[in-house]
């Protein structure tokens, strides 16, 4: 193809920009002649189109009947998803399917029928309507005059005292309602500092609630852990709120693999380490532990933490390491917390830096 | 009618006339019928997506109203005692239990839930494609800029409606979604922690949230959506619909079918088709099987969690941000903690949305084209805009795909980290490559149009000329088809112009630079003179062989 393709560059002098009218153009040929459809010229075709449309309407009626047959005819009730008795589940599935198909057919029948009717039997001559300016200049001038008259008659410009007090009241009046929003919740960020963990609180398995003997934690194993005192809370006492902060992941690594920084030497029990399970990115529970690489992976946004290196971020969007829970063994051999976390758990927030400093001061 | 005290001047003869007379003499509807009864709407399949969105919204309101009859938005604890065996005796919120009740103990309740959810997905899909159609055809240009903005607001409200809706069942999946919202709120400087504490009525998850989301989901957000839809449609009436270029169409007219009966029948019928499609999907494809997830509990989470697709771009943005590379993206400066590991991702997502809102003004600033446009651009005839649109799709698409990065890694046996690296690269480089490639493709398509106009269609008819040469006969286009291909503008770059003080401002230089990138390569439409010359050349060639033109006869 084309040596003509270079024309654009050569003839750029005939280019019309949005500001340069006047290029020679083809005249608008007007609407193309109307091509009659088969149904326009052949009465038999028109009749058969009519029959097709009514057949579609009949299908719609049958669809509606199918719905009622499924609704009243299929006996549902009983225990669903019971492996010993799968019948109710199958009946529910069948009913859901047939109800939906009934509605689908009753709608399709009407829809396709009416569109077919419009396409074959209603006139298909294109028609022309003219556009008008959205608003005439004269109208706009008149409207402007009216508004100016209104303002003048109200006297708002002539009486500044009226105007200023009105502005003041109109600003303040809605604020009364905005004030209601104040009691949407408490306004004390320091609640984020602490969890239920405390000195001597036993680590128990989630969800069974049984305490964990240090000797039971084998090398390479991992436990989902809760504080033992959590089960004493009822729902109304904020069980879920406390659980959301207190969830912990417990792992045992070879002590020689662990990097331990100064001040944390006694936070692990012979390679058993406990870290907050709440992702420091936006708070999902970190559920995946890869034993071979010691990596913890958050399934929500794939933040990856290295359990061997004090759960520092090795990949993904999290901005800081998981807080470590210092643990010890009690007289009966069960794992207990030495204290609460030494920094707030979960995602970072505006006051977090301040809280970290304050909490460091508290422990000293 | 004989003994009424009010005498009407107009005496109707048909029954339709009598009804019309009754109504009109009381509330005056004839003006509306006169305005709309035979109003002309242009017909094109791409004009259908806005309709699909509207109809999905109707289906959403209908199915949602039914769901409110049984749903109970309470976070109070209850031991489940319905007919779904695996959950018997489990402690859960009343909201979750009532969702199970709708799914298992209300006849057709599961279907209603699935119709509602599928309609929501369809609403956002149709709305998004409708926006793309409006963008790529330039339908947002004057006088429709404000309607474009209303559409953008609807896009945001749609996301809000979807998110508040799928969070209501209080299951593990939606609860983790809310937890992510909590994390994002907390990251906002200065006000974030308070915002989160207020939103949840204390610490996450609290006991207030589902009720609050419910009032937003069934009242505030839908009211705003309906308000915007009303404004949107009102403006469509004021502006009249745009139309594609073609024979008989001008900036001053609308060519199409009258509302009654053809357009109303097609559009009305189409509502039932959309309803049928959604009902079919709802009966055959399970969606949001909340009984598999379990009631919300802060401890567990499933791998491979994803939000509904229209929230995906936000989730994907969160995933792509490196939080601790090359340094930790949390800074303790200026009196607080700046959580850029979470705020950072809001930048690309925010930029895409901001660009969307201001695009009509941005384009006008660069092109200095302030005229009214009622004839749409074929996307190829605006290569710069089509390029920008594809760049936007790639950026948005990358973020959306990133929301499935873990599933991509597991399904295609790739390294999770590699998937993230490639997506990060695609987010930055993809839009640039997309812009330039698309611009080139558009120019190529415009050249193809020129070829068609100048040399006609290959007819498949091969003839032997008297001197022995074989040629394929090209059939010239008829004038109607030709008009569609030649009726466009191809503006040249506008060089920087000095302002009143005679200085060229930095903004003006930027504008000129953009204008150059957009318009320096362009293809102009064929002029009648060119066509005439091409025809003559053809005639000559057929008599005497010109070496240069034999190439294109193949």
pLDDT band at B102 (very low <50, low <70, confident <90, very high): very high
- A181 contacts in chain B (CB < 8 Å): 198
Percent of chain B past pLDDT 90, that is, above it, reads: 76
- Position B348 scores a pLDDT of 83
Verify whether the Cβ–Cβ distance A207 to B337 is below 8 Å.
no
Is 80 exceeded by the pLDDT of residue B547?
Answer: no
- Indicate whether B553 pLDDT > 50: no
Min Cα–Cα distance to chain B from A334, Å: 22
Give the integer Cα–Cα distance in Å for A158 and A167. Answer: 15
- To the nearest whole angstrom, how far is the Cα of B350 from the nearest Cα of chain A? 18
The answer on pLDDT for A90 being more than 50 is yes
pLDDT in tens, B317-376: 999 999 988 889 999 999 899 999 999 999 888 888 999 999 999 999 999 999 999 999
Averaged over A126-145, what is the pLDDT? 87
For chains A and B, count residue pairs whose Cβ atoms are closer than 8 Å. Answer: 405
Q: B262 and A122: CB-CB below 8 Å?
A: yes
Residue with tokens 């109208």: A139
B201 chain-A contacts, CB cut-off 8 A: 184-185
Whether B328 and A319 lie within 8 Å, measured CB to CB: yes
User: What is the pLDDT at residue A48?
Assistant: 96
| CA separation for the pair B152, B131 (Å, rounded) | 8
Q: pLDDT at position A363, please?
A: 64
| A291-320 mean pLDDT | 94
- Report which of residues A324 and B15 the model is more confident about: A324
**Cis ω for the linkage preceding A46 (within 30 of 0):** no
Residues 6+ apart with CB under 8 A from A362: none
Lowest mean pLDDT among A62-76, A130-144, A160-174, B41-55: A130-144
* Window B:340-369, CB contacts with A under 8 Å: 340-342, 345, 367-369
Sorting pLDDT into bands at 50, 70 and 90, what band is B495?
very high
For residue B260, pLDDT over 90 is answered with no
List the single best residue of A101, A303, A347 to mutate versus B (max B Cβ within 10 A): A347
A115-136: b (≥16 Cβ within 10 Å) or e: bbbbbbbbebebeebeeeeeee
**Whether pLDDT at A20 is above 70:** no
Q: In the prediction, which pLDDT does A14 show?
A: 37
CB count, 10 Å around CB of B529?
11
Backbone dihedral angles phi then psi of residue B369, each to the nearest 5 degrees: -100, 105
**B479·A82 Cβ contact <8 A:** no
> Does residue B248 come out as left (phi exceeding 0), alpha (psi in the -120 to 50 range) or beta?
left
Task: With cut-offs at 50, 70 and 90, classify the pLDDT of residue B540.
Answer: low
Min CA distance, A321 vs chain B (Å)? Answer: 9
Please tell me the distance from the alpha carbon of residue B121 to that of residue B113, in angstroms, as a whole number: 13
What pLDDT score does B442 carry?
A: 97
pLDDT recorded at residue B3: 54
Task: Sort out which chain A residues have CB atoms less than 8 A from B479's CB and list them.
Answer: 26, 29
CATH 1.10.760.10 fits B43-70+90-312, yes or no: no
Q: Cα dist. A128→A248, B34, B377 in Å?
A: 71, 16, 20
Segment B51-56 mean pLDDT: 96
Please write the tens of the pLDDT for every residue from A158-178. 999 999 999 999 999 999 999
**Strand positions, DSSP E, A36-164:** 127-130
The ipTM, to two decimals, is 0.90
Which has the higher per-residue pLDDT, B540 or A338?
Answer: A338
Count Cβ atoms within 10 A of the Cβ of residue A165 and give its class: 0-12 exposed, 13-18 middle, 19 or more buried: exposed
Q: Which of left, alpha, beta for A302 (phi over 0: left; psi -120 to 50: alpha)?
A: left
> Confidence band (pLDDT; 50, 70, 90) for B434?
very high
CB contact under 8 A, B273 and A107: yes
- Residue A314: list chain B partners with CB under 8 A: 324
pLDDT at B1: 42
Q: Name the range with the highest mean pLDDT among A84-88, B147-151, B249-253.
A: B147-151
Q: Note whether A11 contacts B86, CB cutoff 8 Å.
A: no
Contact A217, A252 (CB under 8 A): yes
Whether the CB of B189 is below 8 Å from some CB of chain A: the reply is yes
Residues A191-216 have pLDDT tens digits of: 999 999 999 999 999 989 999 999 99
Domain residue spans of chain B: 1-36, 43-70+90-312, 439-553
The Cα of B465 is separated from the nearest Cα of chain A by a number of Å equal to 21
**Taking a C-beta distance cutoff of 8 angstroms, is the pair B319, B402 a contact?**
yes
Residues of A in contact with B529 (CB under 8 A): 24
Q: What is the pLDDT of residue A91?
A: 92
**What's domain A192-363's superfamily in CATH?**
Rieske [2Fe-2S] iron-sulphur domain (2.102.10.10)
A274 by DSSP, 3-state: which? Answer: strand
Given an 8 Å threshold on Cβ–Cβ distance, is B284 in contact with A187?
no
pLDDT band with cut points at 50, 70 and 90 for residue B6: low
Q: What is the mean pLDDT of chain A?
A: 90
b/e map of B115-138 (b: 16 or more CB within 10 Å)? Answer: bbbbbbbbbbbbbbbbbbbbbbbb
Q: What is the pLDDT of residue A19?
A: 39
Answer whether B187 touches A (CB < 8 Å). Answer: yes
Closest chain B CA to residue A98 = B283
Is residue B545's pLDDT more than 70?
no
pLDDT band at B275 (very low <50, low <70, confident <90, very high): very high
Are B288 and A126 spatial neighbours (Cβ–Cβ below 8 Å)? no
Q: Which pTM does this prediction carry? A: 0.91
* Runs of H (alpha helix) within B456-496: 479-486
Whether B106 has a pLDDT exceeding 90, the answer reads yes
Residue B454 has pLDDT above 80, yes or no: yes
Chain A nearest C-alpha distance from B153 (Å): 23
Q: How confident is the model at residue B21 (pLDDT cuts 50, 70, 90)?
A: confident
The whole-number average pLDDT for the span B174-197 is 95
B82: nearest CA partner in chain A? A79
- pLDDT at site B472: 86
**What is the DSSP track for A14-60?**
G---TT------PPP--SPPPPPPHHHH-HHHHHHHHHHHHHHHHHH
With b for 16 or more beta-carbon neighbours within 10 A and e for fewer, the B198-207 pattern comes to bbbbbbbbbb
End-to-end CA distance of chain A: 83
**CA of B271: how far to CAs of A23, A108, B56, B237, in Å?**
45, 9, 8, 20
Which of A11-25, A55-69, A253-267 has the highest mean predicted lDDT (pLDDT)?
A: A55-69
Q: What is the pLDDT of residues B57-101, one digit of tens each?
A: 999 999 999 999 999 999 999 999 999 999 999 999 999 999 999
- pLDDT tens, A219-240? 999 999 999 999 999 988 899 9
- Chain B, window 25-64: residues with a beta carbon less than 8 angstroms from a chain A beta carbon: 38-40
Measure the CA–CA gap between A260 and B334, rounded to whole angstroms. 32
């Amino acid at each position: 193809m084309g040596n003509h393709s270079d024309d654009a560059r050569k003839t750029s002098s005939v280019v019309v920009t949005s500001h340069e009218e006047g290029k020679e153009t083809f005249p608008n040929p007007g609407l193309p002649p109307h091509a009659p459809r088969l149904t326009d010229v052949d009465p038999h075709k028109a009749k058969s189109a009519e029959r097709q449309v009514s057949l579609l309407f009949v299908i719609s009626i049958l669809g509606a009947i199918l719905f009622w047959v499924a609704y009243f005819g299929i006996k549902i009730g009983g225990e669903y998803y019971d492996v010993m008795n799968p019948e109710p589940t199958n009946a529910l599935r069948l009913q859901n399917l047939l109800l939906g198909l009934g509605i689908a057919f009753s709608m399709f029948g009407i829809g396709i029928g009416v569109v077919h009717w419009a396409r074959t039997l209603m006139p298909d001559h294109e028609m022309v309507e003219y556009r008008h300016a959205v608003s005439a200049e004269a109208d706009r001038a008149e409207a402007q005059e009216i508004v100016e008259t209104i303002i003048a008659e109200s006297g708002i410009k002539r009486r500044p005292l009226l105007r200023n007090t009105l502005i003041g009241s109109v600003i303040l009046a809605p604020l009364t309602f905005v004030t209601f929003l104040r009691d949407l919740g408490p306004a004390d960020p320091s609640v984020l500092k602490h969890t239920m963990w405390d000195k001597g609180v036993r680590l128990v398995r989630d969800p069974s609630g049984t305490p964990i003997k240090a000797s039971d934690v084998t090398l390479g194993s991992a436990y989902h852990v809760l504080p033992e005192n959590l089960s004493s809370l009822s729902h109304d006492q904020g069980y879920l709120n406390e659980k959301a902060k207190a969830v912990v992941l417990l792992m045992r690594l070879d002590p020689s693999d662990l990097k331990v920084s100064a001040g944390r030497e006694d936070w692990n029990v012979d390679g058993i380490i406990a870290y907050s399970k709440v992702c420091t990115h936006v708070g999902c529970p970190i559920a995946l532990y890869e034993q071979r690489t010691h990596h913890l992976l958050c399934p929500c946004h794939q933040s990856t933490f290295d359990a061997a290196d004090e759960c520092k971020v090795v990949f993904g969007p999290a901005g800081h390491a998981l807080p470590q829970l210092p643990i010890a063994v009690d007289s009966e051999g069960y794992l207990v917390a030495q204290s609460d976390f030494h920094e707030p758990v979960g995602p970072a927030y505006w006051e977090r830096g301040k809280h970290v400093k304050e909490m460091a001061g508290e422990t000293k | 009618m004989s003994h009424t005290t009010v005498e009407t001047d107009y005496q109707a003869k048909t029954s339709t006339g009598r009804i019309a007379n009754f109504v009109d003499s009381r509330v005056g509807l004839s003006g509306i019928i006169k305005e709309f009864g035979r109003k002309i709407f242009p017909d094109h399949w791409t004009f259908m997506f806005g309709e699909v969105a509207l109809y999905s919204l109707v289906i959403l309101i209908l199915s949602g109203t039914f769901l409110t009859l049984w749903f109970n938005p309470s976070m109070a604890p209850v031991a489940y005692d319905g007919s779904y065996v695996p959950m018997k005796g489990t402690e859960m919120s009343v909201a979750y239990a009532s969702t199970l009740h709708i799914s298992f103990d209300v006849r057709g309740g599961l279907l209603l839930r699935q119709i509602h959810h599928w309609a929501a997905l369809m609403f956002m899909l149709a709305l998004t494609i409708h926006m793309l159609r409006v963008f790529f055809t330039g339908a947002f240009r004057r006088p429709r800029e404000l309607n474009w903005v209303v559409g953008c607001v609807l896009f945001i409200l749609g996301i809000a409606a979807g998110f508040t809706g799928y969070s209501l069942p209080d299951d593990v999946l939606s609860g983790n979604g809310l937890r992510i919202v909590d994390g994002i709120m907390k990251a906002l400087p200065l006000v974030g922690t308070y915002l989160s504490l207020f939103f949840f009525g204390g610490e996450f998850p609290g006991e207030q949230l589902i009720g609050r989301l419910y009032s937003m989901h069934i009242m505030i957000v839908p009211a705003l959506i309906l308000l915007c839809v009303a404004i949107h449609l009102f403006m469509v009436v004021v502006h009249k619909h745009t139309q594609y270029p073609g024979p008989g169409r001008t900036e001053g007219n609308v060519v199409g079918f009258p509302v009654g009966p053809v357009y109303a029948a097609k559009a009305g019928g189409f509502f039932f088709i959309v309803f049928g499609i959604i009902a079919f999907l709802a009966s055959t494809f399970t969606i949001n099987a909340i009984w598999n997830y379990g009631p919300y509990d802060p401890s567990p989470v499933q791998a491979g969690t994803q939000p509904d697709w229209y929230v995906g771009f936000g989730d994907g943005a969160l995933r792509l941000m490196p939080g601790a590379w090359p340094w930790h993206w949390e800074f303790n400066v200026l009196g607080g903690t700046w959580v850029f590991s979470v705020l950072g991702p809001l930048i690309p997502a925010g930029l895409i949305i901001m660009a969307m809102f201001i695009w009509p003004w941005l384009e006008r600033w660069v092109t200095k084209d302030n005229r009214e446009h009622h004839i749409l651009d074929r996307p190829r005839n605006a290569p710069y805009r089509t390029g920008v649109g594809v760049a936007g799709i790639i950026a948005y698409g990358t973020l959306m795909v990133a929301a499935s990065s873990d599933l991509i890694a597991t399904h295609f046996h790739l390294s999770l980290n590699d998937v993230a690296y490639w997506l990060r690269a695609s987010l930055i480089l993809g839009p640039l490559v997309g812009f330039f490639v698309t611009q080139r493709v558009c120019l190529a398509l415009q050249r193809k149009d020129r070829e068609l106009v100048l040399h006609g269609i290959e007819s498949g008819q091969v003839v032997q000329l008297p001197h022995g040469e074989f040629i394929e006969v090209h059939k010239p286009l008829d004038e109607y088809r030709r008009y569609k291909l030649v009726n466009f503008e191809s503006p040249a770059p506008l060089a920087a112009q000095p302002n009143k003080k005679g200085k060229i401002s930095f903004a003006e230089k930027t504008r000129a630079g953009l204008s150059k990138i957009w318009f320096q390569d362009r293809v102009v439409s064929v002029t009648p003179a060119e066509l005439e010359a091409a025809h003559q050349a053809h005639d000559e060639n057929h008599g005497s062989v010109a070496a240069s033109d034999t190439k294109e006869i193949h």
